[in-house]
Structure 1
Amino acid sequence: MSRPIAVVTGASSGIGRATARRLAAEGFEVVCAARRTERVEALAAEIDGRAVTCDVTRAEDVAALAAAAGGEVKLLVANAGGAIGTETVADAALDEWRTMYETNVLGVAATIQALLPALIAGRGTIITVGSVAGLVAYEGGAGYCGVKAAARMLMMSLRLELVEEPVRVCEIDPGLVASDEFSLVRFRGDADKAAAVYAGVRAPLTQEDIADCIAFAATCPEHVNIDQLVVRPRAQAAAHKLVREDA
């Protein structure tokens, strides 16, 4: 019996990689998509999936991903994205904001557009990995908060537009996750600043925690739609309320 097809973007690291592994354990054939070819090829070999080199900001890459996924897709996890910088609005590098918007919003929309016919045919589920940053603003977060808020509006509109189709539209919004690359990219490779994000926090979320949430939403009975799932570590009551043991 053939396995249902799941497509995971941003699968070369972090939440995307953990999600690909978790979905494979659930019985999906996972199409692992990311820009870094060697990484997704190694992951696909590990989980008996398929690798596709894909930059979600390139139309030709997204079209190739849809072609590789085939005519019926059971699950799309639109995870590719990320944050760059923590500057204030006054000091922000707007080119970096454009990069974030291209990936977190337009890249998500392009991937959904390309795969939607296959998702409808497969009675599938669309899951985006958002952020609590899309729910509330914080100093130095206008760029990232803005793109994640835009992605949230995209999903809310999509849910209304697809209500008559056999497709579920779900959003997972994590709080503080101890990811292997997210903060390092955000601080442009400054390992000390990246480590400081998690310093003193008892048990931040792991990448596997979010993968578990995605698997839960994807494997609920077909009539159950997880519109939005906000998940934080217990030490984080809100974006501005985080307990650090050394504080």
Structure 2
Amino acid sequence: MMPTSSLYQPADIKGKVVLITGASAGFGEAFAYRFAELGCRLVLVARRMERLQALADSLHAKFGAVGCKCHPVCLDVRDIPACEALPSRLPAEFAQVDILINNAGLALGLAGVQDNSMQNMQIMLETNVLAVMALTKAFLSSSMLPRNEGHIINISSTAGQEAYPGGSGYNASKFALSGYSTAARHDLVGKNIRVTVISPGAVQTEFSLVRFNGDAERAASVYKGYDNLLAQDVADNVVYAATRPSRVQIAEITVTSVHQSGAKYTARPYLESQQQ
């Protein structure tokens, strides 16, 4: 739970409908637990229905008493027509989405620009950018603009602030997401609809395993030797942004490990201490 204060009251979001893409693991799963704890109704979107159903069952068992309800949706966000049609597919209890968390995203490979796989580039742009645009448009039109109320939270990365060798496709997708989110904030400035970007640094999830095509040893090396962030740390930032009073818009949060100073600048104090 967020800490309470007699001097400043966060917004009570119990009963709000929160839609989370990429909900079956990593960030999305961590987000689901935090919003379930606050008594929200959750639309859990991902490709792996078995994992979604297991998550929904766990959340109901743990947080059903505080009002949490879940509706899992099996959907690949690269299917843009399916994203556009999603509002019409939701049961009435979940149809009026209050908080849209565009979390589904991925990086593929570390090739230089001369060696980029165009298939990988297309997958990253479709997942990290076009899906966000489609889902944002769909839920703005169906539930947020008609009620003049809502919150769009886009999960970006420090890779959207600082480019690095071997990251051209992923960098391009996250820089695009940053520009899109800023433009959306301008477009919606006269409305009671907030747009937030959360930009984490390195976080120990399945992310690197996907990036390195299932090479577990190489993926683990990314996080070895320092106190890296966990998905729960990012979830805490998301919940913070979502629970500010309605007059407050958290435009952007950048969060890294204390041992990371940039997208590719990480100290390895544990490894260094072992070598001394």
User: TM-score normalised by the shorter chain: which range applies?
Assistant: over 0.9
The superposition leaves residues 162-199 of structure 1 with CA deviations (integer Å, 9 ceiling, x where unpaired) of: 111110000000001011x1000000001111011011
Q: Secondary structure at the match of 2:133?
A: helix
The superposition leaves residues 195-244 of structure 1 with CA deviations (integer Å, 9 ceiling, x where unpaired) of: 1101112x211001001110110111001111010000000012232101
**1:88 aligns to what?**
112
Percent identity at matched positions? Answer: 39
Is 1:165 the counterpart of 2:191? The answer is yes
Contact 1:52–1:65 (8 Å) recurs in 2: no
- Which piece of structure 1 moves more, 64-73 or 186-195? 64-73
Q: Secondary structure at the match of 1:32?
A: strand
Q: Mapping of 1:201-216 within 5 angstroms?
A: 201=226, 203-216=227-240
The superposition leaves residues 65-113 of structure 1 with CA deviations (integer Å, 9 ceiling, x where unpaired) of: 3221654221000001110001111111121011100000001111101
**1:27 aligns to what?**
39
Q: Distance in 1 between matches of 2:33 and 2:74?
A: 18
Structure 1 residue 58: Cα displacement: 1.1
Aligned letter for 1:22?
A: R
Q: Distance in 1 between matches of 2:193 and 2:230?
A: 28
Is 1:143 the counterpart of 2:174? The answer is no
Q: Mapping of 1:44-55 within 5 angstroms?
A: 44-48=56-60, 49-55=70-76
**Unaligned regions of 5+ residues in structure 2, if any?**
1-13, 61-69
Aligned letter for 2:80?
A: A
The superposition leaves residues 27-64 of structure 1 with CA deviations (integer Å, 9 ceiling, x where unpaired) of: 21111001111111111222231101111111342244
Q: Distance in 2 between matches of 1:32 and 1:223?
A: 27
Report the TM-score, using the length of structure 2 for normalisation: 0.85
What count of residue pairs does the alignment treat as equivalent? 244
Q: Distance in 2 between matches of 1:96 and 1:11?
A: 22
**Unaligned regions of 5+ residues in structure 1, if any?**
none
- Which piece of structure 1 moves more, 112-121 or 18-27? 112-121
- Which piece of structure 1 moves more, 49-58 or 168-177? 49-58
Structure 1 residue 13: Cα displacement: 0.7
Report the TM-score, using the length of structure 1 for normalisation: 0.95
Q: Distance in 1 between matches of 2:212 and 2:79?
A: 25
- Which piece of structure 1 moves more, 67-76 or 226-235? 67-76
**1:57 aligns to what?**
78
- Which piece of structure 1 moves more, 53-62 or 5-14? 53-62
Aligned letter for 1:147?
A: S
Aligned letter for 1:151?
A: L
Q: Mapping of 1:163-242 within 5 angstroms?
A: 163-179=189-205, 181-201=206-226, 203-242=227-266
- Which piece of structure 1 moves more, 78-87 or 51-60? 51-60
Q: Secondary structure at the match of 1:56?
A: coil
Q: Distance in 1 between matches of 2:17 and 2:148?
A: 9
Q: Secondary structure at the match of 1:204?
A: coil
Q: Distance in 2 between matches of 1:115 and 1:42?
A: 26
Q: Distance in 1 between matches of 2:81 and 2:172?
A: 27
Larger Cα-atom Rg: 2
Aligned letter for 1:188?
A: N
Structure 1 residue 122: Cα displacement: 6.5
Q: Secondary structure at the match of 1:115?
A: helix
Contact 1:53–1:61 (8 Å) recurs in 2: no
**1:131 aligns to what?**
157
Structure 1 residue 19: Cα displacement: 0.4
RMSD after superposition = 1.4
